[in-house]
Structure 1
Amino acid sequence: MSFAGMPNMLDGKVIMVTGASSGIGAAAARLFVERGATVVVMARRQDRLTALVKEIADAGGRASASAGDVTSADDVRRAVATAVDTYGRLDGAFNNAGWATAGSLIHETDDSVFDQIVDTNLRGVWNCVKHQVPAMLAGGGGSIVNTASTAGLVATGAIAPYVAAKHAVIGLTKAAAAEYGERGIRVNALVVGATLTELMEEVLAATPSLAEPFTSRSLQKRMAAPVEVAEAAAWLCSDASSFVTGAPVPVDGGWTAA
């Protein structure tokens, strides 16, 4: 990793990234720093966060870790406080933490699975937005990017709790954009298609038959690399997207266009 000569579209911004211990979140943390940002990374795995912060620092960037679970309001509050107390403000947030499991039909799905999926994917975003907004208002504004999914726009069989949660993330994103648009905070969602993350590898290991439909539904007939999703998040966190808010932005290889 080297930050020399990279575009500085996020220069000087302090950005919180959740789900940063792997996959899209880790890729975003690295990319944001390359683009000039300081990051506060949050995830449950402290060891991974420590390694990521060291990697960034060794390359000349600035990062702090705040281990925690987005389903805990106290953990989220602590991460926001880390940004404000350490760097003086919070300019952006990429609320990327999420979880899914191999699917089953609604009548075969245990309520505990529904609760876990909705808690992580929806309540986690709710907790983040709720506690990030006051810090951004105090600083004069900011940009929040929530990770949704193609499952937030179209149904995919046998993962009803995930579909419900990601549809709700898009609704929450629009509601937050409407509430804070005149107060300088933009809120958008990434409609993410199949991406080769550790979570995806776990899903495919449990249900190998999903590999073909995940690939074939993309008009490019492939899955995304995590950094491709991170690039979209970086743009939405930057001033280059200053007139974009309340939008579900597809980063799905054309999945929802077909």
Structure 2
Amino acid sequence: MSSSIQASPVGVFDSGVGGLSVLQELRRELPHENFVYLADTGNAPYGERGDAFVKQRTLTIARHLLQEHRIKALVVACNTATTAAVAELRAALPDLPVIGVEPALKPAASSSQTHRVGVIATRGTVNSARFEQLRQAFSDGTDFRVQACDGLARAIERSVEEDPDAGPSFKEIRELCERYTRALGSFGVRTGDIDTLVLGCTHYVFVKDELRRLLGPDVHIIDTGAPIARQTRRILVQRDTLANEDSDKAPAGRLHLYTTGPLSALQAAAERWLQLGPGHCSALPA
């Protein structure tokens, strides 16, 4: 494989800043890869949009990343976009390796001791045919309690430019987390309790501390960032497009972030969660 393709970036996109939680894990797993991230914040949240809109945006963004950045693979770091559009995306761009994210129902079912698992996700994800297929596939012996969390991803997006402990969106996040976890039922390790919570939206990783406060130390909280990063590595190795990892020669990977929404919000999120300066971020038309 030519060195130019190995040096090409991996594309990552989400409806907003939630996919930065996946990007964190990708950078840990693949420190020598170049990445380009696109937050479609100007059209967020996808979880409250229809499938046709999400499919159109997903394909438009994938083509943009191919044409403008010559990406060698695409990580769809959005559960809603994966469930709504990943099949059509693979059909439309068959030469582009596409890695999607889906709620981690299989590992949750395998690890739960009480056989009762909570799932929180956007309404677009929980109402999708793909989610129902996943639920049916792993429901033998496991009781999945599912809750659509309207407004939570949007509140997390708004919170990035506020005081992380005292801003108005932080108060809303706390209230929404409390409301939605309470709606699922009793959490704990006793018979009948929910002992595992699946984060079915990449945004929710950024409120894991709040969820932990509500659920206590014994509940297992599962997200998909690290498994997706490992799957991305496997695909790059299979296609012989992995960046050079020779410790004597390989530089650290480069990273640039784009947004179709307010540039200041992406810059704040990049600084808070990735420790990146504003020069790593640029704005695009919505």
Could you state the TM-score of these two structures normalised by the residue count of structure 2? 0.40
Higher Cα Rg: structure 1 or 2? 2
Give the TM-score normalised by the residue count of structure 1: 0.43
